[in-house]
Structure 1
Amino acid sequence: MNKSQKIAQSFSPAAFIHDTEENHQAIEHLILEQEIGGLTFFHSRHSAAANFEKRAEALETDGTFEKIIGLINRYQVLSKIPLLISIDGEYGLAMRIENTPQYPFAITLGAIQTDAESLVEEVGFRMGVDMKRSGIHLNLAPCADVNTNPDNPVIGYRSFGNQVDQVAKLAFAAYSGLKKAGIGACLKHFPGHGDTAVDSHLGLPILNKTKAELEAEELLPFQYGIDRGVEMIMVGHLAVPALTGGKEIPASISRELITDLLKGKMGFQGLVISDALNMKAVANLFPEPGELEWKAFHAGNDILCFSDQVKAGIQKIAERATEEEVDLVFQKIMGLKTRLGVIEAKKVESPTFDWESHSKLQAELAENYVSVISGTINPKEIHSLAQAGKLGYREFFSSGKSHFAERLELPFVSIEQSEKVILAVFVPSHKPLNQFGMDLETLAEIQRLAQSKTCILVHFGNPLALKHLGNLENFEAVICGYQGFEEAQKVATSFLV
């Protein structure tokens, strides 16, 4: 292989499942003419990166799973060296593909109270099995970011929490489960994206912390993983001036951070993958085609994710990188492909999912994370009030998939006639934009009810959204269900009846 062919193995541009035939053919040209090493699949151009939720609300598509299987087979048959197929599936295939198993968000798993590491590893294993059987080799997960900024616009629910040790252990457990399933995984977003206030899809976050603070918090989960043999780390698009001599340079293109700190001081010997190179935090910095790809490669990235300038990027790297640098990266990528079974890639047959087993796991998880986080609940009193015609019920923001009231099997009266009210809140969005999708008028109504009636709040959603529901002390008790899964709804009812 010549130098350019070896460099091409570093490129994993985006492939969109729902796209035009013209764009599918453009991917074929990249495979045939540039001989790229892999593809990173997204649902659609509309849904890529930051816009997943808007896609879920606005885009109607059918047959996503069947289409990705077809595209994987279509593209693999064209490639001289089988492609490394990646997906960003932090909570399973369902993050990008409808009608596939969805697992709890990291923030939900972070609330598991018993045997958390073992259960999180099992979740990683199950989602890894789903992916491996679907022709996917690498999951760009889990997050090892410590979410210490509750207003973080881009991490939040994607983090295992705000406690450093917990994040370190659970991120490694998720990684280990994926690896057990034969899937590649990576800790992200080095050096730590949890305390940022800017979405790196849209701009450059700058983390102004001291070196000592960064080592004690942001860097610790990555060091924990490195010490235990983690094989891949994704570097994020955020600036940490304390680690780059005061320069506000994105970590993803900083040789000081990747080569000197991560690979040098911290001892990481695995592969480094860049966060998506189309993201505004870096994409707008280098208007000349291929320059960004060269900067990322030179900084120490082995795999370049979501490059929009593949041909120019290969050319720039070939002009400037030494043969030794290229050979080293090429050998690392080929080693990864061998370990993950990519080289023996075969035609993928559409698998079926064991939904019964999936539901059993969901139920076991829910038993361990759904909890009363404030106040106390007396089920006997609730029953007594219900029989006396003094128990009310009100549901907010339900998407129509709620079976919560049915599960309670209690007689309810109007709010006006009740002495006590059960308020079920199904938070529309897991991201903080616009009060997590909750309108201000309805939030005000919930707060008025909590102040005028004795209320029990049952919250199905990101716990970071609780702050918008007013002072929790105004509720007699608060049950946090974390997500609206039927299994979580069932467990939540057990606290009431």
Structure 2
Amino acid sequence: MYWNEHKKVIFYRLKREIIMKKPLLSEMTLREKIGQMLAPMHWDVYGKVEMEYDYSQSDIKDVKAIYEKEQFGVIRGEQVGVFYADPENEGQVEKIEGYVEGNLLANFTVKVNSAPYKKFIEKHNTYGKIPLLVGGDFGVGSAHVFKDGSWIVNANAIGAADSEELTFELGAAIARQMKCTGHNWRWCPPVDLGNRNNNMCMRTFAIDDVDRTIRLSKAYIKGMQSEGVAACAKHFPSEGRIEARDAHLSATSNTDSIETWWSEQGKVFKEMIDGGVYSVMVGHQSFPAVDDRKVDGRYVPSTISKKVITDLLKGELGFKGVVVTDGIGMAALFSLFPYEQLIVELVNAGNDIILGAKLPSGDIIEAAVLDGRISEERINDACQRVLDMKEKIGLFDDDYGVLSYTMEEAVADTLKISEEIAKRSITLVRDRYNLLPLNKKDIKKVSVIISTHADGFVYELEELKKAFNERGIEVYMQRRLKSALELKEISDNSDLIIYAADVHMHAPAGYLRLFGDEAYTYYHAFNHGKEKSIGVSFGYPYVHYDTMENAPVFINAYNTRPETMKAFVAAILGEIEIVGKTPVLIEPRVNSR
């Protein structure tokens, strides 16, 4: 065993001979320093744009030449559709339905195994002098792109379980999965406080609880960074308590006063910084309390505000780590300036890494330095911060990439932790009739009425059905209600009626609500069988308020993971205690738009 491990170390040392130790700025060319600031999307490197959003495949030799010229410091991993563009990877991918040969964007959700993708990343490291940061969100695990990866429960569930120990362990477990895939930078956790209409309410551990957000976020960050994966607190300075729009689709603004910001959101970011987070992501929302300049009739996004990034984040908050933009292709930013001007604005504002930088970015920044629009001191500061973070996660170590665990082991650990969090997260919102726990002997037939805009939820509920069936309970499921008469028939043939809802961000894009036929179910709901009805949300935690106020019993389960479905069934049947602590206000702020 020792010899095999020893051979691995020798192999990695030989493989990494071309990769220098942490360089001094004085040893680097201007172009090499600029390269450390650029985080292109992989499909921009591998693709040739034939028409808008139609990327045909580049020759692999072209890719190598691009890397050698640009000396990128970072790449966007995670979305791995480019993997099959390398001829060496033929046969390694699971081609999705609707696969389009040679079109990268059409296939960006293709799934691969972790080991060949890690080798794919290692090959890219041979194209440059300095090892790469490979970043991704991995917000709910790695299974969205890796066939041998796993999903995890979401942020609301982690917040409801309220265990710093489990949160640390989950952060560490996901970091180990990421290391098995070649990733070393996770753009997580979101630490935004907000309101029920903003999708941050599902991405932060506890949007209405400053102290819980701080405790759990710090634990998560420490867990990830203990395994050599850089964490990232986001989205500075946050969108505030009122904003309900989505920066992917529209300009957004934090309208908090500076006093309010310091007492809540500023306190959170200060704690993340003092706790040692390696990076902070800046969002595209404006923050007029700090920078009230306007461009094109609207307040400037924080990503191009020197007052927000250099003066507030790096200055007053004293952040010494890496500042990265949110993806620059979002609607809140990208259309504001011509691209050449936008890149210069982003660098001068104080961003150290530009996420989603297009291929001309290096040329643009170099020209701006040479003609005085960007100072070389600004480039040096950004480059040094990036190099320092790479050093912290061990990228310059001889044995970087040698792991003491396998993906299979990392996944097993992750699932065990996620299952325990799921059990602790189930939250009782109300029980007006003291219905819970149910007497299993009285429950022979259960009807589940489904409300969702995500068709996949119907199939995910098979896990709930299976959990009941294993206890000898028959389950009938249907999507939507058409009439009170239909409900009466269901009630007459059921011992228990469960109204199961799933509303998730970006599914579809827009406000977090049930609408249309899905919402119309609740015109009829609870007219019959109310005394034996339970409402449950497997997503958005305000369904009890917005849609199911008539549900006498309501539970928040927060996500659709199999472990959550099992925990929900066990909880209502009294097999486990319901101990979840709501991560959001049960009665939300009514003045939130």
TM over 0.5: yes
Change (3 A) 1:383 1:70: same
Cα distance in structure 2, aligned partners of 1:268 and 1:440? 46
**1:221-260 C-alpha deviation (Å, 9 max, x unpaired):** 1011122232311111110111114541111111111111
Cα distance in structure 2, aligned partners of 1:326 and 1:438? 47
Larger Rg: 2
Residue in structure 2 matched with residue 353 of structure 1 by the alignment: 408
Q: Which of 458, 473, 487 pairs up with 1:410?
A: 473
Secondary structure, aligned partner of 1:463: coil
Secondary structure, aligned partner of 1:482: coil
Q: Does 1:394 align with 2:448?
A: yes
Displacement after TM superposition at 1:421 (Å): 2.8
Cα distance in structure 2, aligned partners of 1:300 and 1:31? 24
Secondary structure, aligned partner of 1:85: strand
Displacement after TM superposition at 1:307 (Å): 0.8
Q: How many residues end up aligned between the 2 structures?
A: 478
Displacement after TM superposition at 1:179 (Å): 0.6
Displacement after TM superposition at 1:74 (Å): 2.8
Greater RCO, CA 8 A, separation 6+: 2
What is the letter of the counterpart of residue 410 of structure 1? I
Q: Which moved more, 1:78-87 or 1:280-289?
A: 280-289
Q: Does 1:273 align with 2:273?
A: no
Contact 1:443/1:469 (CA < 8 Å) preserved in 2?
Answer: yes
1:68-467 equivalence runs, <5 A: 68-94=117-143, 96-113=145-162, 116-146=163-193, 148-153=194-199, 155-162=200-207, 163-193=209-239, 195=241, 196-245=243-292, 247=294, 248-289=299-340, 291-308=341-358, 309-319=360-370, 320=372, 321-344=374-397, 351-354=406-409, 355-375=411-431, 376-379=434-437, 381=439, 383-384=441-442, 386=443, 392-396=446-450, 398-401=457-460, 402-408=462-468, 409-411=472-474, 415-418=490-493, 420-427=495-502, 429-431=504-506, 433=509, 438=514, 440-454=516-530, 455-467=533-545
Cα distance in structure 2, aligned partners of 1:352 and 1:42? 16
Displacement after TM superposition at 1:218 (Å): 2.3
What is the letter of the counterpart of residue 287 of structure 1? P
Change (3 A) 1:383 1:14: same
Change (3 A) 1:286 1:97: farther
Change (3 A) 1:151 1:29: farther
Change (3 A) 1:317 1:225: farther
Q: Does 1:29 align with 2:38?
A: no
Q: Unmatched 5+ residue regions in structure 1? A: 47-54
Displacement after TM superposition at 1:412 (Å): 6.3
TM-score in terms of structure 2 length: 0.73
TM-score in terms of structure 1 length: 0.86
Q: Does 1:4 align with 2:31?
A: yes
Contact 2:544/2:554 (CA < 8 Å) preserved in 1?
Answer: no
Q: Which moved more, 1:3-12 or 1:90-99?
A: 90-99
**1:145-204 C-alpha deviation (Å, 9 max, x unpaired):** 11x221114x23211122222222222221111111111111111011354322222332
Cα distance in structure 2, aligned partners of 1:187 and 1:24? 35
Contact 1:15/1:40 (CA < 8 Å) preserved in 2?
Answer: yes
Contact 1:294/1:316 (CA < 8 Å) preserved in 2?
Answer: no
What is the letter of the counterpart of residue 281 of structure 1? A
Cα distance in structure 2, aligned partners of 1:378 and 1:235? 44
Contact 1:135/1:348 (CA < 8 Å) preserved in 2?
Answer: no
Contact 2:40/2:356 (CA < 8 Å) preserved in 1?
Answer: yes
Secondary structure, aligned partner of 1:338: helix
Displacement after TM superposition at 1:98 (Å): 5.0
Cα distance in structure 1, aligned partners of 2:218 and 2:494? 48
Kindly report the root-mean-square deviation, in angstroms, between the aligned alpha carbons of the 2 structures: 3.1
Displacement after TM superposition at 1:281 (Å): 1.9
